[in-house]
Structures are given as structure tokens and as C-alpha cells.
Structure 1
Amino acid sequence: MISKKIIRIYVITDNYFLYYGIRELIYNSKVFESYTYNVEQTAKLPALIFYHKYHTQDIIITDNFLHCYAVSKYRPEKTLILPCNYDLDKYIECFNDLTNQDYLHNALYFKKLSSKETLLLTLFSEGATDDKIAIMLNITKKTISSHRRNILQKLNLKNRHELYMYALATKEGLYEHV
């Protein structure tokens, strides 16, 4: 199955007018209409951008040039950083370049989860512990671990943390394939 690409756009500023202007530009330009995207205002650089990304692309628009330096120094993958002083045409050009890149169009194909794996993913998204799941489904923790390993492989996730984050995102409607 195919999952929509997620683009997270962070406007790092205390200036609400800057945030509102950029948000409206993005909504009105419809550049990202074929993607799931979110525009968020924050006061500091989110640490989330430095994590390994399978399903997301980050765009950072900032009025603090130290953020540009930090991001360029660590070079997090799939992260575009733009200063806040670009004009409208330059932003649109950058967004179009970003959406035309090949790796955004390479849709991920996932192996279908079994009914038990889907049930476990749902329980993970609700925050159920292994002990609670074992009692509810009358299965052993080793069976849960085995299903978890299969889910990680099928969804191309690295570890339990990514699995739980993915499960929460699925619960919130960000991913459609499960």
C-alpha cells in the first residue's frame, strides 16, 4: 500500500505576523496539496528534525540565522532550511523544487500487516503495555515481541520508538495505509 508523504513546516519566530503570512502563502499556493503537511510556529529549533526520517520531509523557515548554521553544520537528512527574508516568488520556487525531487515521489510500498499485527499496532497507539496486551489477547510477551519485529520489518522502521511514534501518527490520521 502507499502512504502519503508528510511535510512538516516549522516557522521559527516570535513574530506571529511572519508565521501567519508564511502559513497563508503555503495554503494559498497549493504546492503541497498532494502531501499531508502541517505548518507550525515554534520559538526554538525542534530537535525532531535531527532524527532519522523515513516518511517525513522537514522545512524550517527561521528569522534566526544561527538556526541556519546549526542545521547546515549537522546536515540532517530531508531538511530544507530557509531564511525568513525571502520574497514570495523565491519561497514558491523553493517549494516547487522540493516537491519535484525524486525521493519525494518514490512512494513507499509496505507489505500488508496481518490482522493480529494490525490489532497490536492499534493497541500500541493507545499506549497499551506488553503486559496489558498479553492479558487482553491471551498471548505471551514473546509472541508480542515477534509480531513487533514483523511490524518493524514490514513498515521499514528501525526501533520500538519509531514504531510507537508511527502508531500514534496513524491514530491521528497522518498515515492512511494501516
Structure 2
Amino acid sequence: MRTWLHKRRTAEEGFSLIEVLAAITILSIVSLAMTAFFIQAMSYAKGNQNKTVAVNLARNALFFVEKQSFDEFNKYFKTHLKVDSANCTYENNQYNCKNDEETENLFRNIPGLWGVLNTNINGKEYQLTIEYEDQVLKNTPEDPKKRDLAAYLIPIKVVTNEKNAKPASRGFAEVGGYITDEKIR
């Protein structure tokens, strides 16, 4: 009986060194592929997070502007195509826009506009612009009621950009809407 047990043990020798190395190599290749997948997924999720922040900032700015003075913006958009704070500074409660007194007056007359267009979220600075969409009114339908209604609307587009970001990782979004005259609100 003892010889049968002894023979049984010697028949079970285990894995060879080559089999163990092959298994480790296959496991390493699969792990590297999975790591690359997770790194790509994390990068994609971060980009989506930046895009979500940019869209929410643009929506916030649009909601803010929609509630402001129609006459103030209507007067401003007669001479400007966009509200942009890129060439402006705000220090000691003073606005300084290079050779653009009308933009300075717009920031003075609409409290909070500067803060909406220049904001900091999660340590990143964002700069927004409000662009006048003159093509929208040019394509007004022939229906007289809709054409008359166009006189009470200012079509705009709010564009969000992340300051000092590489173009590939920049948080960028556009949201369109209208500033409506107080007479039809």
C-alpha cells in the first residue's frame, strides 16, 4: 500500500517553469490592455466633465442675460457684434476696456454681468462671450406675426471657453437663445 501512495505523489509534479512564465506573460499582456482601456475611459470622462461645466456656465449666462434690460442690449448690439471681456479689466470697482466706452458702460449698467462672463469653477477660469446672431433675424419667415415678434427679440449665442487651456482640453460650449423685450415677457 505504501508503494501505491508513493507512486501517486511522484506523478503529481505541478507546473513547469515554462508554464508559469507563459501564464505570467499572458496575464501581463491582458493587464496592460485593460490599463490602457481604463486610462482612455478616465480621459474621456474628464473631457465630458469639462464639457458639462462649460455647457452649464453658458446656460447660466443665457438665463442671466435673458432677464436683463432689452433696451440696454439692443442699444449695445447696434454697434457691437458681441459682449467680450477679453480686452477689459476690472479692478477697484472700475472697468477698463481698451478704447471701448460702450462695453464699459454695459458692464456698469448691468450689475453682475462681469462675474457671469468671468468665472472660476474648480480652480479653472472660464471666459464667456455673448454673440449677436444677426443671421437669425435675416432668416425671419414671411409670416407677418412672426416678423413683428422679431422686433421684440435679440437672438444671441453664449460661448464658453476655458482660459489658458490647451485647445484639445479646452472646455468649449455654445448655447443659443433670445433676450426678450419686457413688453412681451
Asked whether the two chains share a fold, i.e. TM above 0.5, the reply is: no
User: What TM-score do the two structures reach when normalised by structure 1?
Assistant: 0.26
Q: Which has the larger strand fraction? A: 2
Give the TM-score, by structure 2 length.
0.25
Larger Rg: 2
